[in-house]
Amino acid sequence: MIKEIEENKYLCNDLDSSNLNKIMIPVLGCMKNGVIIADKDGWVVYVNPVYQKVTGLKMTERMGKNILKIAPDCPLSRSLKTGKSIPNENFKLFDIDNELVANTNPITIKDKIVGVISVFQNASKVRTILKELEGSKKTIKTLSNKFAHVAKAKYGFGDIVGSSPKFMKCIQMANQIAKTESTVLILGESGTGKELFAHAIHQAGYRNDKPFVRVNCAAIPSNLLESEFFGYEKGAFTGANQQKMGMFELANEGTIFLDEIGDMSFNLQAKLLRILEEGEMYRVGGINPINVDVRVIAATNRNLFKLVKQGKFREDLYYRISVLNIEIPSLKERKDDILLLAEVFLKKANRKLGKKVSGFSKDAKEILEFYHWPGNIRELRNAIERSVAMADDDILTAQDLYFIRAESKKEIDFKNLVPLKVAEREMIKCALDKFGVSVEGKKKAADALGISLRSLYNKIR
């Protein structure tokens, strides 16, 4: 076949002028895509075997024909006429049914167009490949979401800042607990560092080379939580097109951190208790029990005992998970640590924002120490970052902390007269008045209060 083409009388002089044919024709003959070449006047000088397969045309139906005449609008003709490349164009030839997708380029030698070449394949094949690619992309996305949950613990005890006696006791206790296999319940207001402690406990424990899987029980809609936790079997419900592993299986041999456990549905609490008691679970729609060996660290800023009394949290689960409790003090209970933390966050903010703020003025320190920090360490970190971003001077002054001063003033008004709960409610009201009650407004309000959106919803509830 190649010999026939090599000897083909239609090969024009320019294309024929070098050893091009001898080298290129066998190469083109091996290609998996269809190839057609026409000379500078539009005479077809070459079609490879795949061309015939894809188009269903015989070689004689193209060779020696003038493409400008038989298909003046096809990419080959247009590229020849304009001298321009036509990448990835879908088209249909007048004499075939298949839709094709072609990459077409003029062939130039010493700046002279000597011909034109089209490399193409069946568009439906391309579509199939694209569809498969799309499917693969989805799988990659699902897997990367999974891997976002499955990670090694990011922080250790070395990352936890604080030296007040109450806090040091907490760290000491957490260190001891880390060396056990017991379930741990971490309590504390929003932003006090519960997640940080969970990471540190895992990292200092025997499972530190195994997965650390974080699940925010408040962030996943309750109807999805069960399948997120336990996974599902193919066909378990509409849309369950394939089997999926749940968080417990992903955490096998490692630690699962159940953040905001107080927000877990009553029904799911029973299933969690089963895992804790028996070390086995069922995927949704599954009939075979699966053994899992997982250490559970749970955290909440809600009063679990109160939830038990209200019948919203299972008593048996409460006693099962609260064997070892760590109660992290709020920032206002450890005012000694405020400046220490502020210095650490100042350095971090400098690094992040490329600034060189060296410290705090005396009155700035007073403001930091006086304020009651309802959003705890998260709020302190955000406040420092915000003021570093705005600061013009070498040191942070009271002026840079104007937003805290405004909050503090309100606090003075409340301070002597109202319980903290009332003050908190007023503060939330004030933030919602300012930013509005839309989701966007609530996000801004939560930000300004230094608490998570979820915490804001909990407090509004």
Ligand X SMILES: Nc1ncnc2c1ncn2[C@@H]1O[C@H](COP(=O)(O)OP(=O)(O)OP(=O)(O)O)[C@@H](O)[C@H]1O
Choose between 107 and 448: whose C-beta lies nearer to ligand X: 448
Per CB under 6 A, the list member of 104, 301, 330, 387 interacting with ligand X is 301
> Is the CB of 244 or the CB of 378 nearer to ligand X?
378
Q: Which two tokens stand for residue 165?
A: 């006696």
Instruction: State which residue, 162 or 246, has the beta carbon closest to ligand X.
Output: 162
Which parts of 141-160 interact with ligand X (CB under 6 A)?
160
Q: Minimal CA–CA distance to 246: which of 263, 270, 271, 266?
A: 271
Nearer to ligand X, 196 or 294 (CB): 196
Minimum Å gap between C-beta 349 and ligand X is: 12
Residue whose CB is less far from ligand X, 45 or 196: 196
Task: Output the six-digit token pair for 201.
Answer: 């406990």
Binder among 44, 101, 178, 196 for ligand X (CB under 6 A):
196
| Smallest gap from residue 375 Cβ to ligand X (A) | 8
**Torsion angle of the four alpha carbons 241, 242, 248, 252, in this order, in degrees rounded to the nearest 10:** -170
Q: Is 283 in the site for ligand X (CB under 6 A)?
A: no
Q: Which residues pair with 327 in a beta bridge?
A: 187
Interface residue with ligand X among 62, 194, 207, 459 (CB under 6 A) is 194
Is 33 one of the binding residues for ligand X (CB under 6 A)?
no
Sign of torsion, CA 94 95 97 99?
negative
What number of chain residues touch ligand X (CB under 6 A)? 18
Size of the chain, expressed as the number of residues it contains:
461
Least distance to ligand X, CB of residue 196, Å: 4
Distance of CA 436 to the CA centre of its chain: 29
Query: Quick one: tokens of 218?
Result: 């408040």
The nearer residue to ligand X, 183 or 452, going by C-beta atoms, is 452
Helix/strand/coil (H/E/C) assignment for every residue in 320-371: HHCCEEEECCCHHHHHHHHHHHHHHHHHHHHHHHCCCCCEECHHHHHHHHHC
Q: 201 burial class (0-12, 13-18, 19+ CB within 10 angstroms)?
A: buried
Rule CB under 6 A: is residue 442 a binding residue for ligand X?
no
CA–CA gap between residue 161 and residue 155 (Å, rounded) = 12
Residue closer to ligand X, measured from CB, 45 or 184: 184
Give least dist CB 300 to ligand X, A: 8
| Binding of residue 193 to ligand X (CB under 6 A) | yes
Distance CA 36, CA 22 (A): 17
CB 378, min distance to ligand X, A:
4
Query: d(Cα 211, Cα 150) in Å, to the nearest integer?
Result: 6
188 binds ligand X (CB under 6 A): yes
Nearer to ligand X, 194 or 202 (CB): 194
Rule CB under 6 A: is residue 203 a binding residue for ligand X? Answer: no
**Binding pattern for the stretch 207-246 against ligand X, x by CB under 6 A and - elsewhere:** ----------------------------------------
- Judged by CB under 6 A, the stretch of 95-103, 290-298, 374-382, 388-396 that binds ligand X is 374-382
Which span (60-68, 184-192, 279-287, 314-322) binds ligand X, by CB under 6 A? 184-192
Binding ligand X (rule: CB under 6 A), the pick from 190, 255, 387, 458 is 190
Phi and psi angles of residue 277, each rounded to the nearest 5 degrees, phi first: -80, -45
Stretch that binds ligand X, among 20-28, 82-90, 92-100, 373-381 (CB under 6 A): 373-381
Name residues whose C-beta falls within 8 Å of residue 121's C-beta, 6 or more positions apart in sequence. 32, 33, 34, 54, 100, 101
Using DSSP's 3-state secondary structure scheme, residue 258 falls into strand
Q: Please identify which residue in 42, 106, 191, 374 interacts with ligand X, judged by CB under 6 A.
A: 191
Encoded tokens for 378:
């998260």
Beta strands in 218-265 (DSSP E): 231-232, 244-245, 255-259
Interaction of residue 192 with ligand X, rule CB under 6 A: yes
- Does 329 bind ligand X (CB under 6 A)? Our answer is no
Beta strands 295-300 and 255-259, pairing class:
parallel
- If binding is defined by CB under 6 A, does position 455 make contact with ligand X? yes
- Name every residue whose Cβ is closer than 8 Å to that of residue 198 and which is 6 or more positions away in sequence: 153, 184, 186, 214, 255, 257, 259, 297, 299
Cβ proximity to ligand X: between 39 and 195 the closer is: 195
- Tell me whether residue 39 or residue 228 sits nearer to ligand X (CB atom): 228
Rounded Cα distance, 60 and 44, in Å: 10
Residues within the interface to ligand X (CB under 6 A): 160-162, 188, 190-196, 259, 301, 377-378, 381, 452, 455
